[in-house]
Amino acid sequence: MIRVSEIKISIDADEDKLKHEILKKLRIKDKDLIEYFIYKKSIDARKKDKIYFVYIVDVKLKDEKAFLERYKGNNVAITPNMEYESVQIGSQLLKEPPVVIGTGPAGLFAALILAEMGFAPIMFERGKKVDERSKDVNGFWGNGKLNPESNVQFGEGGAGTFSDGKLTTQIKDLRCRKVLWELISAGAPEEILYNYKPHVGTDKLREIVKNIREKITALGGEVHFNSRVTDLIIDNGKLAGVLVNDNIKVNTDLVILAVGHSARDTFHMLNDNGVEIHQKPFSVGVRIEHPQGLINKSQYGAFATHPKLGAADYKLSYHCENGRTAYTFCMCPGGEVVAAASEEGKLVTNGMSYYSRDKENANSALLVGVNPEDFNDTHPLAGVYLQQSLEEKAFVLGGRNYNAPVQLVGDFLKDTPTKELGDVKASYRPGVTPTDLRECLPDYIITAMKEAILGLDNKLKGFALHDAIMTAVETRSSSPVRIVRDKNYEGNIKGLYPTGEGAGYAGGIISAAVDGIKVAEAVVKKYKPLNKK
Q: How many domains, in total, are found in the chain?
A: 3
Question: What pLDDT was estimated at residue 533?
Answer: 45
Task: Based on the fold, state whether residues 252 and 366 are members of the same structural domain.
Answer: no
Q: Are residues 495 and 437 in contact, defined by beta-carbon separation less than 8 angstroms?
A: no
Cis omega (within 30 of 0) on the bond before 430?
A: yes
In a domain, 464, yes or no: yes
How far, in Å, CA of 277 to CA of 380, rounded?
A: 6
Burial 333-357 (b: 16+ CB within 10 A, else e): bbbbbbbbbbbeebbbbbbbbbbeb
CATH of residue 43's domain is 3.30.70.2700
Task: Based on the fold, state whether residues 508 and 417 are members of the same structural domain.
Answer: no
Task: Based on the fold, state whether residues 350 and 441 are members of the same structural domain.
Answer: yes
Final residue of a domain: which of 44, 78, 112?
Answer: 78
Phi, psi for residue 140 in degrees, rounded to 5: -60, -45
In a domain, 448, yes or no: yes
Task: Based on the fold, state whether residues 114 and 261 are members of the same structural domain.
Answer: yes
Task: Based on the fold, state whether residues 335 and 271 are members of the same structural domain.
Answer: no
One pLDDT digit (tens) per residue for the chain, 533 residues:
999 999 999 999 987 899 999 999 999 999 999 999 999 999 999 998 899 999 999 999 999 999 998 998 889 999 999 899 999 999 999 989 999 999 999 999 999 999 999 999 999 999 999 999 999 999 999 999 999 999 999 999 999 999 999 999 988 899 999 999 999 999 999 999 999 999 999 999 999 999 999 999 999 999 999 999 999 999 999 999 999 999 999 999 999 999 999 999 999 999 999 999 999 999 999 999 999 999 999 999 999 999 999 999 999 999 999 999 999 999 999 999 999 999 999 999 999 999 999 999 999 999 999 999 999 999 999 999 999 999 999 999 999 999 999 999 999 999 999 999 999 999 999 999 999 999 999 999 999 999 999 999 999 999 999 999 999 999 999 999 999 999 999 999 999 999 999 999 999 999 999 999 999 999 999 999 886 54
Q: Are residues 165 and 202 in contact, defined by beta-carbon separation less than 8 angstroms?
A: yes
Q: Are residues 475 and 284 in contact, defined by beta-carbon separation less than 8 angstroms?
A: yes
| Residue 467, helix vs strand vs coil | coil
Task: Based on the fold, state whether residues 114 and 27 are members of the same structural domain.
Answer: no
How far, in Å, CA of 312 to CA of 296, rounded?
A: 5
Task: Based on the fold, state whether residues 319 and 302 are members of the same structural domain.
Answer: yes
Question: What pLDDT was estimated at residue 532?
Answer: 56
What's CA 461's distance to the chain center, in Å? 27
Antiparallel, parallel or unpaired: β 238-244 and 404-408:
unpaired
Q: What angle do CA 261, 265, 269 make, to 5 degrees?
A: 110
Amino acid (one-letter) located at 455: G
Task: Based on the fold, state whether residues 262 and 324 are members of the same structural domain.
Answer: no
Task: Based on the fold, state whether residues 409 and 466 are members of the same structural domain.
Answer: yes
Q: Are residues 284 and 368 in contact, defined by beta-carbon separation less than 8 angstroms?
A: yes
Final residue of a domain: which of 14, 44, 78?
Answer: 78
In a domain, 61, yes or no: yes
In a domain, 83, yes or no: no
Q: Are residues 352 and 163 in contact, defined by beta-carbon separation less than 8 angstroms?
A: yes
Task: Based on the fold, state whether residues 209 and 286 are members of the same structural domain.
Answer: no
519: alpha, beta or left, given left = phi > 0 and alpha = psi -120 to 50? alpha
CATH of residue 186's domain is 3.50.50.60
Q: What is the Rg, in whole angstroms, of the alpha carbon atoms belonging to the chain?
A: 24
In a domain, 114, yes or no: yes
Question: What pLDDT was estimated at residue 299?
Answer: 96
In a domain, 85, yes or no: no
The predicted model scores a pTM of 0.95
In a domain, 248, yes or no: yes
Task: Based on the fold, state whether residues 293 and 273 are members of the same structural domain.
Answer: no
Question: What pLDDT was estimated at residue 388?
Answer: 98
Q: What angle do CA 325, 328, 332 make, to 5 degrees?
A: 170
Phi, psi for residue 18 in degrees, rounded to 5: -60, -45
Q: Are residues 284 and 390 in contact, defined by beta-carbon separation less than 8 angstroms?
A: yes
In a domain, 202, yes or no: yes
Q: Are residues 327 and 285 in contact, defined by beta-carbon separation less than 8 angstroms?
A: no
| Residue 437, helix vs strand vs coil | helix
Task: Based on the fold, state whether residues 309 and 350 are members of the same structural domain.
Answer: yes
Domain containing 488 equals: 92-277+482-528
Final residue of a domain: which of 432, 449, 474?
Answer: 474
Q: Are residues 381 and 277 in contact, defined by beta-carbon separation less than 8 angstroms?
A: yes
